[in-house]
Structure 1
Amino acid sequence: MAWNEPGSNGGQDKEPWGKRGGRNQGPPDLDEVFSKLTHKLSGLFGGKMPSIGGGNIAGIGVIVVVGMIIWGVSGFYTIGEAERGVVLRFGKYSHIVPPGLNWKPNFIDTVTTVNVEAIRSLRGSGDMLTKDENVVRIEMDVQYRVADPQKYLYSVTNADDSLRQATDSALRAVVGDAVMDEILTTGRQQIRERTQVEINRITDRYNMGLLVVDVNFDTARPPEQVKDAFDDAIAAREDEERFTREAEAYRNDVLPKAKGRSERLKKEALGYHEKTVNGAQGDVAQFDKLLPEYLAAPKVTRARLYLETMENVFSRTSKVLIDSQEGGNNLLYLPLDKLMNQTPQTPQKRYSGEISAPDYGLTLENTTVAPGTSTPRQSTSRPGRY
């Protein structure tokens, strides 16, 4: 009767392997256990095989097949999208496994996954000596990622700790080659770039399998004893830069205007030059045409030129020429130029018993008339030529 059949007392007084329990009972018989397991497996497949030495050949084959299936199924594994698998075969590096579903022979290959896309951060700080023998406190942050998983795992003992030491060495080398003013003010960007290049050079030389993505300077400050003096120096440098920018803005405002005026004067001078040259050339051409006429009739040509010149001159003057005859006759004339430029007169006063002639700007010379004689109605003087 089996230990789990009814009436067996629930198997409390027997071992699962068919033997009664007891404190002093020894380990189960391996041959019996193997025989029972083979019998059950043979029953599942519906046949019995001859036994050899207490075992069953079919049962052994089944066990081997089941074990191989379990071994094969347990070898499947998955690599993430951002990961790479480093395979060791019998403890020696074999190859890199890409992302996805993969299989490895258990007890032969060992796979270690490494994230190659995650950005890792490493912080560093310390007091460092500059080129001009000043001490500066620097705090920085290094961002990096794994570039080669095999080198990252097996080229150095601890790649992250090695990177920390390489960062400290590179930063001290770069800071020791710069003056303090550059570190605190204008040279921070150059120092950051040089530090990144130096760290990558060290990691490549030691085959760490790491790639430095960026280096950020959090703070760079002098010691507390001289901090106030350096703050004043930085403020003065900022004022200098501000004044320089203001001067450049003023220059950018004034120079275009000056250049515009200069170009305008140049164009005006060029226009005046062309006008003068063209006028002179026109006069020359006119005289060239006039010369044959003058040679043909000098007097007529001279008189015509004189009359044209006088007409041109008198048309632009306000002078009046009077050709008076001998005998001192008086002449009454109208100053037309003054009448044209005269402002409107104010209204005349009301009649007050005397008649006053309005002043039209006329000039009347005094004429002496003998008693008993009448004033001549018309002057014998001849008006001048205009």
Structure 2
Amino acid sequence: MKILVVDDTPANIDILFQTLEPEGCTLSVATNGEDALKLVPEIQPDLILLDIMMPGIDGFETCRRLKANSSTSNIPVVFLTAKNQTEDIVKGFALGGIDYITKPFRHQEVCARIHKHLELHELKNQLAEKNQSLLELIDMKNKLLGMASHDLRNPLTSIQGYSGFLLSKGGDLNEETRTDFIKIINTASGNMLTLVNDLLNLSVIESGQLTLNLMTGSLCDLIKERIRLYTHLAGEKGIELKVNTQDIPDMRFDGPRIGQVLDNFLTNAIKFSPAGSVVEISSDTRNGRARVSVKDQGPGIKSEELEKLFQPFEKLSSKPTGGETGTGLGLAIAKKMIELHHGDLKVESSPGQGATFIFELPHNPPT
């Protein structure tokens, strides 16, 4: 506990040192208000014991200036003075003091008051931190509701419109048109399911309730499996998936979760790559860690957008080359999945040069 004593009387300072140092307090001293105002921002004490009658500016003015400065306004100030008139006590509290102790003081009373004020100050700081966290959660909730209402409304409108048309006039449509309508409904419902799954995944992760099921297995086999799943999707856009996987020793990881990260990397690479381009998938071992990268030949990412790339609900200026859609949650979820494995996820990109997404995993993550 750091306490600043502001008093011009050596005898008072000595008594406070004798009283408070045995209580584990670290004391600093200023003998006037001007020195105190210079010292407080530098040492940031946990509490200030402030005399009123001093040369230069008095304790009242010193307190007023401390409370007017945003960097010192939250530091508790306890007046410790011989001035015991009611108007002085009221003025001390009005200027922002949290207590007013008159001299001569009783040692045990001063210690008890200081400990209680320090305890209250710590609780106040904890409450402020929790309030800030709550405000951030409220902001995230508002973004979630805004995004969900927008991104769910569009596919729901399509589903309702096309299904209603099929119910009322489906018999008048030829088979090809009915099939097209059903495909549209299927695509729209698939987009909704993706969004809902992403929202649920993010909610579980943010609440700290997601646990990994770590199993020993082959990361290379998982990579090859996921590539097979996306070969057809890439082929529809004329994109080649080029694989360069080096042997990686079997390691412990959560297969479905890492598969989800690979899915995100591959779908993004295909989504933002032009027809006739190549997506390169590589894996190897570096510095005792497995490293996987997916490199595309898309438009790349602006430097100012890299920082918000892994933030929930963020969508970048680059547009998919085939009109695909996204939720703005996939990379945020992927990053958190990798971090739960005690790994790292990063991106290397510049405009017009494509993007390379990389994750690294320890072979034996802590349990």
Q: Could you state the TM-score of these two structures normalised by the residue count of structure 1?
A: 0.23
Q: Could you state the TM-score of these two structures normalised by the residue count of structure 2?
A: 0.24
Tell me which of the two structures has the higher relative contact order, counting C-alpha pairs closer than 8 angstroms and 6 or more residues apart: 2
Larger radius of gyration: 1
